[in-house]
Amino acid sequence: MIHPTSTTALPARPSVLVTRAIFPEVLSQLRVHFEVDANQDDVLWSPQELVQRLQGKAGAFMTGTEKVHADLLAQCPELRICANMTVGYNNFDLPAMTAAGVLGTNAPDVLTETTADFGFALLLATARRVTESEHFLRAGQWNRWRYDMFAGAEVHGSTLGIIGMGRIGQAIAKRAAFGFGMQVLYHNRSRLDVATEAQCQARYVDKDTLLRGADHVMLVLPYSPQAHHTIAAPELARMKPTATLINIARGGIVDDAALAQALRTRQIAAAGLDVFEGEPAVHPDLLSVANVVLTPHIASATDGTRRAMASLAVNNLVDYLVHGRARTPLNQPVARA
Ligand code: DGY
């Protein structure tokens, strides 16, 4: 006997967009709950293509570079959540998202220790001139040992100044104090409580005192318009001529043109940069100075950490769109009608 085909429609599953290539298991996890529009070819969409792909989607898995602003939101009325797999969220216009009823989420905590490790890797490579000396060796220029060859700056026992004392700043302070016997100065929008300062062995100072007193300055603050060019020509002029500057925070926090000039004239000794103004473009003057270590925004890049970051973004999408509550919300949007 032939059964009549059921005419009862299944409830439509929400659709989500995954804006960039990602671990295949992320797509599998999302497909349990959603219709998934993926981009495993890793095409870099124009802003208009991003809008087109987002139309009709309830959620988006993002990698921290896709700009979400009022104009985009107005064209994507079904959108309810944008989940960054990064801790930074300067790609989000949060007030516009709140007004449009769209939740933003980020991925804090899961990358703290890995990113702090990298801050130290970059500090050590910069102060001890690791990449500069490797280039010399690879170029076949090493033909004898010399007493002053690639003499760098001490790290152990020196003074580290950390600007931005959130989770990652604190993890760096602990490595510095307990691993390398460094004195740690920090500057932050707000001072830490006494117990946290003691755990980090860190002393709060104003920015000027930090810049003048530190042998190494590490930037770990989030980007905001107020943080734009936190380090520019006047700040570089206050640093010791033997100092190094490390930026693992965000491009735009340092004035890269002013930094290149300070490196060329040896106003400061060296810099280590993982992030750049206008990245992936790098200021050409930085490419032509020897006393800078350059890496392509990889501070959180270990396999385990990148999987944990992606997994948190997946959980945020599922928890919000299926259960109504995200794990790491950044704003409290008014629900969309
Ligand atoms: C972040 O999570 O914000 C990092 O910069 C991306 O690796």
Model confidence pLDDT, tens digit, residues 115-166: 999 999 999 999 999 999 999 999 999 999 999 999 999 999 999 999 999 9
- According to the model, what pLDDT value does residue 12 have? 85
| Confidence label for 336 from pLDDT (cuts 50, 70 and 90) | low
- The secondary structure of residue 168, as a DSSP letter, is H
User: Whose Cα sits closest to atom 7 in ligand 1?
Assistant: 300
Residue 5 has pLDDT above 70, yes or no: no
How many domains does the chain divide into? 2
Q: CB under 8 Å to 110, separation ≥6 — which residues? A: 305, 308, 309, 312
What is the maximal distance between C-alpha atoms in the chain?
94
26: domain CATH number is 3.40.50.720
Q: Which atom of ligand 1 is nearest to the CA of 298?
A: 7
Q: Which atom of ligand 1 is nearest to the CA of 106?
A: 2
How far, rounded to the nearest angstrom, does the alpha carbon of residue 225 sit from its chain's CA centroid?
16
Give 43 Cα–ligand 1 centroid separation in angstroms: 20
Domain-embedded: residue 8 = no
**How far is the C-alpha of 320 from the C-alpha of 253, rounded, in Å?**
32
How far, rounded to the nearest angstrom, does the alpha carbon of residue 324 sit from its chain's CA centroid?
27
**How far is the C-alpha of 118 from the C-alpha of 249, rounded, in Å?**
12
Tokens encoding 195:
């117990």
Both 233 and 318 in one domain: the answer is: no
| Confidence label for 11 from pLDDT (cuts 50, 70 and 90) | low
Mean pLDDT of the chain: 96
**How far is the C-alpha of 276 from the C-alpha of 270, rounded, in Å?**
16
Residue 1 has pLDDT above 90, yes or no: no
Bridge partners (DSSP) listed for residue 18: 61
Both 146 and 176 in one domain: the answer is: yes
**How far is the C-alpha of 181 from the C-alpha of 270, rounded, in Å?**
21
Q: Give per-residue pLDDT as tens, 77-91.
A: 999 999 999 999 999
Give me the phi and psi of 202, to 5 degrees please: -120, 145
Domain-embedded: residue 7 = no
H or E element: which one contains 285?
A: helix 284-287
Q: Which atom of ligand 1 is nearest to the CA of 86?
A: 2
Q: Give per-residue pLDDT as tens, 38-70.
A: 999 999 999 999 999 999 999 999 999 999 999
Give 175 Cα–ligand 1 centroid separation in angstroms: 20
Residue 296 has pLDDT above 90, yes or no: yes
**How far is the C-alpha of 260 from the C-alpha of 232, rounded, in Å?**
11
Both 184 and 211 in one domain: the answer is: yes
End-to-end CA distance of the chain: 46
Which DSSP string corresponds to 42-90?
-----HHHHHHHHTT-SEEEE-S-S-B-HHHHHH-TT--EEEESSS--T
Q: List residues with catalytic annotation.
A: 250, 279, 297
Tokens encoding 30:
């999302």
Give the C-alpha distances (Å, rounded to integers) separating 133 from 10, 159, 249, 284.
64, 24, 26, 21
Both 53 and 196 in one domain: the answer is: no
Both 52 and 200 in one domain: the answer is: no
Domain-embedded: residue 285 = yes
Query: Which residue's structure tokens are 């969409």?
Result: 45
Both 130 and 208 in one domain: the answer is: yes
* Residues framing ligand 1 (Cβ under 6 A): 64, 86-88, 111, 299-300
Domain-embedded: residue 3 = no
Domain-embedded: residue 80 = yes
Domain-embedded: residue 145 = yes
**How far is the C-alpha of 267 from the C-alpha of 241, rounded, in Å?**
5
Both 269 and 222 in one domain: the answer is: yes
Both 263 and 127 in one domain: the answer is: yes
Residue 275 has pLDDT above 70, yes or no: yes
For residue 69, the enclosing domain spans 15-110+303-335
Give 217 Cα–ligand 1 centroid separation in angstroms: 20
Domain-embedded: residue 6 = no
Both 87 and 138 in one domain: the answer is: no
Both 280 and 330 in one domain: the answer is: no
Tokens encoding 303:
């396999």
Residue 229 CB neighbour total at 10 angstroms: 15
Give 161 Cα–ligand 1 centroid separation in angstroms: 21
Both 49 and 146 in one domain: the answer is: no
Give me the phi and psi of 333, to 5 degrees please: -70, 150
Domain-embedded: residue 9 = no
Residue 265 has pLDDT above 50, yes or no: yes
Residue 332 CB neighbour total at 10 angstroms: 7
**Percentage of the chain surpassing pLDDT 70?**
96
Encode burial over 9-44: b for 16+ CB neighbours within 10 A, e otherwise. Answer: eeeeebbbbbbbebeeebbebbeebbebebbeeeee
**Inter-axis angle of helices 167-174 and 112-127, nearest 10:** 50
Tokens encoding 218:
């590490």
- According to the model, what pLDDT value does residue 334 have? 73
Both 236 and 119 in one domain: the answer is: yes
